[in-house]
């Protein structure tokens, strides 16, 4: 389908979704949330890996659209919050790996979108944070839950309660991003990473991510049990047989995704 606020491009096994509202610093209004949700679902059906980024080099996604939020009553704001949470949950649970290319500001809902991705690359000009307390609110798209799972409770509380901004170098140091790359190359690095992921067995990637994401919400004993169950299931797949055969024949595997 055609979108008003995002661009969709496909190169080989990788699909890129670009939030394209540069005049609003790619802020997430209700229409953009709706379009992103649909686009992520559609891309997951056809690609091997997915990249999320923002148009231009100034902002990844600068946050929620404050001009829209300011006009809403609490009753009107609730459906928007639920839509944002649904988008983030859909990104995190996407069966294909999702890489964020953070090229500039990533605040509020934009930072929460990056947190929902499985991996993150960033340019040196990237700046991230959750500034909601300065507006008298708190993060509403999963930031209070995903951030401490990445950086720990104390660091997350410091960032959320002080509305601290973190640059790319600090984000790399504390584990918010996986790669910091030269200026203007966040998307290039994300594509290289996505292509690496796309070359791996799709079913194995899907359930490796599930073991990690779901396992973090479980006691260790239950998480290990989940890993064992998924590992056993993967031994029944055609890709497992193809992987062993390709290894013995010293060739690249031809994954079927089943």
Higher-pLDDT residue of 148 and 255 is 148
Q: Determine the 3-state secondary structure of 20 from DSSP.
A: coil
The mean pLDDT value for 11-31 works out to: 93
Where does residue 56 fall: left (phi above 0), alpha (psi -120 to 50 degrees), or beta otherwise?
left
pTM attached to this predicted model: 0.90
CATH number of 202-249: 1.10.12.10
First-to-last alpha carbon distance for the chain, in angstroms, is 28
Would you call 11 a catalytic residue per the annotation?
Answer: no
Query: CATH second-level architecture of 6-198?
Result: Alpha-Beta Complex (3.90)
pLDDT of residue 1: 66
Would you call 132 a catalytic residue per the annotation?
Answer: yes
Considering the candidates 112, 158, 192, 221, report the single residue annotated as catalytic.
112
- What is the distance, to the nearest Å, from the Cα of residue 17 to the centroid of all Cα atoms in its chain? 11
Nearest CA to 122 out of 56, 70, 53 is that of 53
- DSSP conformation letters of 123-173: -TT-EEE--GGGGT----SSHHHHHHHHH-HHHHHHHHHHT-EEEHHHHHH
For the record, the structure tokens of 37 come out as: 């949700």
Please list the residues that pair with 16 across neighbouring strands: 9, 51
Considering the candidates 35, 132, 221, 238, report the single residue annotated as catalytic.
132
Distance CA 50, CA 64 (A): 22
The mean pLDDT value for 90-111 works out to: 95
Domain ranges of the chain: 6-198, 202-249
pLDDT of residue 208: 94
The mean pLDDT value for 40-46 works out to: 93
pLDDT of residue 130: 96
């Amino acid at each position: 389908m055609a979108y008003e606020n995002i661009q969709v491009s496909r190169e080989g096994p990788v699909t890129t979704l670009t939030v394209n509202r540069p005049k609003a610093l790619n802020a997430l209004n209700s229409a953009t949330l709706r379009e992103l949700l649909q686009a992520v679902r559609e891309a997951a059906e056809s690609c091997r890996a997915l990249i999320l980024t923002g148009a231009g080099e100034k902002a990844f996604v600068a946050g929620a659209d404050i001009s829209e939020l300011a006009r809403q009553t609490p009753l009107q704001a609730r459906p928007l919050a639920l839509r944002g949470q649904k988008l983030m949950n859909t990104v995190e649970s996407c069966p294909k790996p999702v890489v964020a290319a953070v090229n500039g500001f990533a605040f509020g809902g934009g930072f929460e979108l990056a947190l929902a991705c499985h991996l993150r690359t960033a340019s040196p000009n990237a700046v991230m944070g959750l500034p909601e307390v300065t507006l008298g609110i708190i993060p509403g798209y999963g930031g209070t839950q995903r951030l401490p799972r990445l950086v720990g409770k104390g660091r997350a509380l410091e960032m959320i309660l002080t509305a601290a901004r973190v640059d790319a170098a600090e984000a790399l140091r504390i584990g918010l991003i996986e790669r910091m790359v030269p200026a203007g190359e966040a998307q290039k690095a994300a594509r290289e990473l996505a292509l690496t992921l796309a070359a791996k067995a799709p079913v194995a990637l899907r359930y490796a991510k599930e073991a990690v994401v779901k396992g973090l919400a479980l006691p260790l004993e239950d998480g290990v049990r989940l890993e064992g169950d998924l590992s056993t299931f993967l031994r029944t797949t055609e890709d497992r047989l193809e992987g062993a055969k390709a290894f013995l024949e010293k060739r690249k595997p031809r994954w079927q995704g089943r």
